[in-house]
Structure 1
Amino acid sequence: MQGLVCVVASQTNSFRAVLLLNLVLESLLAAGYALSGGAKGDSPVFVAILGLNLSFNVRERSRREPIPLTREHRQKNDEVGFNFYTQQYEYHPTGEFDIAVTEPDSNYELAKIGDGRSAFVETKIVAFIGRLRELSIRRRVKAEIDARRQVIAEAKAAEERRQAELRTQALKRLKHVEEWVTQLERANRLRSLADKFQTEKLSSNDGVVDAGWIRRAADWLDPTVGRRWDDVDGPRDESVE
């Protein structure tokens, strides 16, 4: 069963490892969880607990013992000034086991149980499967909460974009209105000048600019009037097709 269980044990304690493996499988089946796998025969097998796919690792603990360096090795290290010969270790089986669960194709341990001073790991497997069910429920709830938060965040971002667009449009309109204000002020000043030209019967030296010319210019500038001014816009095309 590739992927479902990884067993690491010494030859001396391999029989207990097999018994642990069998107990894990029996406990899973008794709890109503079936083994699953991909359509291809070489796909990893896993157990699904409420949608959470899990693999089990049964490992024997080992005790690490350093191997002393020989006199020659220590002398060589002293001569070269660094550890030309590095520290080596021997690993001795302890007969103590841990059972850990990971997601398929992952080395991150989601949960683990093991032999303790007061109880062997065999006595903890049933409760361990119950813990895995709770873990699956928590993961599912968290995924649902994260999904809702994502929806809320996307809606908030969309609203912020909408507000930013409204602000941009409002500032553009304000700038346009401010231009209208400037044009209106210029138009009113021209009308005041036109009144003075009319009262005092003034005109430019060439006689072109008079009160009427100034009023036409004012009406052309005034955004509330927007009258056509032939001197700027050109004469109307009154031809009839």
Structure 2
Amino acid sequence: MRAAVSAQNSLRALLVLNMLIETLTGAGYSLSAGGKEDGPAYVTLLDGMLTFGVRERARQENVPLTREQLAENKRAGYNRHSQGYIYHPTNELEISAFVVGSTYAAVTTSDSRSASLETKIPGFVGRLRHFILRSSVQAEMRIEQRAAAAVQEAERARLAAIRRSAFEQLKQVEEWASKLERANRLRTLATEFDLKKLTSSDDVIDAGWIRRAADWLDPTVECRWDDMDNAPAGYGEF
């Protein structure tokens, strides 16, 4: 917990913090010292840990540059001297709650024309409770969203694996179709060899040889061709 106020309002700031602590402890919430030597004291409210800060609002007064400073800026070609400010205390205090470890004010209340800060402490505590409840619900929603996202990602991965498998199967089927087409072309050629009594010049390739090659290529026919199957693996791609 910290206070940033003028000397004239330091006692009031301490009294405001004390009133807040008494209201919180009276409502059943516990006050704890920081875990580290320089850690802030905090209040455990439901599942949240909150610390508090009091600051005094200030009125800003602009301090114009002197003629000498303006002239020096002009000679230098850049703003060697910049606009100055004086801050005057306003006696208006503001108290803010921070989640431990955060510099963002989660809940804030302050003096106003109609009511002093002290009279707003009970309402401030109620707002703190609502903030913690809302944060808890949001945290649970984030957990559920992460779980749902994980399920969706797993489903995407499953579908992607199915698609990859189907793609590999399609490649296999296309390869079979290509081999079947080649086999049928060979069978047509074998018929021509039969009709015209053709053979190769060395008498090795005839209609029977071509049909055997066609059956070996045909993925729908279980056929062994020693000339090909007895060759070393990977030798002479066909």
TM-score between the two structures when normalised by the length of structure 2: 0.88
User: What letter corresponds to residue 51 of structure 1 in structure 2?
Assistant: D
Q: What CA distance in whole angstroms lies between the structure 2 residues aligned with 1:27 and 1:198? A: 108
Change (3 A) 1:114 1:206: same
Deviations, residues 6-36 of structure 1 (Å, cap 9, x unaligned): 1122222222112111111111111111012
Deviations, residues 69-88 of structure 1 (Å, cap 9, x unaligned): 44433443344344333332
Q: Give the 5 Å matches for 1:1-241.
A: 5-37=1-33, 39=35, 41-234=37-230
Range with bigger deviation, 80-89 or 205-214: 80-89
- Structure 2: unaligned runs, 5 residues or longer: 232-238
- Structure 1: unaligned runs, 5 residues or longer: 236-241
Deviations, residues 58-108 of structure 1 (Å, cap 9, x unaligned): 112222223344443344334434433333222222111000111223321
Change (3 A) 1:87 1:42: closer
Change (3 A) 1:17 1:210: same
User: What letter corresponds to residue 85 of structure 2 in structure 1?
Assistant: Y
Q: What CA distance in whole angstroms lies between the structure 2 residues aligned with 1:93 and 1:188? A: 99
Change (3 A) 1:186 1:23: same
RMSD (Å), alpha carbons:
2.1
Range with bigger deviation, 184-193 or 70-79: 70-79
Q: What CA distance in whole angstroms lies between the structure 2 residues aligned with 1:197 and 1:71? A: 112
Range with bigger deviation, 61-70 or 116-125: 61-70
Aligned length: 231
Q: Secondary structure at the match of 1:208?
A: coil
Range with bigger deviation, 84-93 or 74-83: 74-83
Deviations, residues 132-184 of structure 1 (Å, cap 9, x unaligned): 11111111111111111111111111211221121121111112111111211
User: What letter corresponds to residue 166 of structure 1 in structure 2?
Assistant: I
Range with bigger deviation, 72-81 or 199-208: 72-81
Range with bigger deviation, 29-38 or 66-75: 66-75
Q: Which residue of 1 aligns with 2:234?
A: none
Alignment identity in percent? Answer: 49
TM-score between the two structures when normalised by the length of structure 1: 0.87
